[in-house]
Amino acid sequence: MASCTSSIPSGEREVSECSSATGGAGKELKVNIEFMGGAEMMFDNQKKLNVTLPPAECKWTIRSLLAYMKVHCAKGGGLERFFTGDSVTPGILCVINDQDWELLDTLNYELEPNDNIIFISTLHGG
């Protein structure tokens, strides 16, 4: 299995590489996700989601979290409305522990245990 290089790998590859690490040094990572402004519609109307990310060799980032969510959490029409490329669709804000993700390097932010992540849709009709 290829090891994660020091450069940030692209989301999906990171998910498969990191999460398939066997006998990994990492632990499970719990994060609390919330949806507002209609974003919940793309996740089966769930306003809150407690996600436990599997252990991985490299650190989970927002980018890899999104890739994980795309595969495991999104239901019914969520995919094309919430995700665009390896990020969220423009118009969907991301707040990490009460801070605008733009202050935290957006997709590259490395997740910590029990981080609170809120996605707010500012688009009409979610």
Partner 1 sequence: MCSVSDDLDCLSLTSSGSGTDKSLFHATCKKCRSEPAKVVVQLKEAFCKNCLLLYVNHRFRACLGKSKLIKPKEKILVAVSGSLASATLVDLIHCGLQDTTPKRLMFSPIIVFIDDGAALGLSNEQRLKIFQEMRIMLKNCGLSTFYVPLESVINFEHNDLKEIQSETTLSINECSVSKVRKIFEDLKSVTSKEDLLIKLRNNLLIQSALTLNCSKILTAETGTDLAVKLMSNIVIGRGAHLPLDVGFCDTRCTSVLLLRPLQDVSKKAVAFYVLMKGLKTVFIPAFSSIERKNCSLQKLTENFLVGLHCEFPSTMSTIFRTGEKLSLNPLSPNFGTSSCELCQGPLDIYATESSAYLATQISSAVSKYGKAAINSDGIHVMNHSSERAKNRILSSSCKNEANGTFFNPVCYGCQLILAESNNQIHLLQNSLRKHHNQILRDKMKEEIADFLIE
Which residues are near partner 1 by CB under 8 A? 36-38, 40-41, 77, 80-81, 89-91, 93, 95, 98-100, 102-106, 108, 118, 120, 122-126
Looking at beta carbons only, is 57 or 110 nearer to partner 1? 110
CB 47 within 8 A of CB 34: yes
How many Cα neighbours within 13 Å face the side chain of 102? 2
Smallest separation (angstroms) from partner 1 to the CB of 102: 4
Smallest separation (angstroms) from partner 1 to the CB of 98: 6
Looking at beta carbons only, is 65 or 81 nearer to partner 1? 81
Q: What angle (nearest 5°) sits at the alpha carbon of residue 63, between those of residues 62 and 65?
A: 60
Smallest separation (angstroms) from partner 1 to the CB of 45: 9
Smallest separation (angstroms) from partner 1 to the CB of 105: 5
Going along the chain, which residue ranges are E strands? 29-36, 48-53, 83-84, 87-88, 92-96, 99-100, 115-121
C-alpha span between 13 and 82 (Å, rounded): 20
Looking at beta carbons only, is 29 or 41 nearer to partner 1? 41
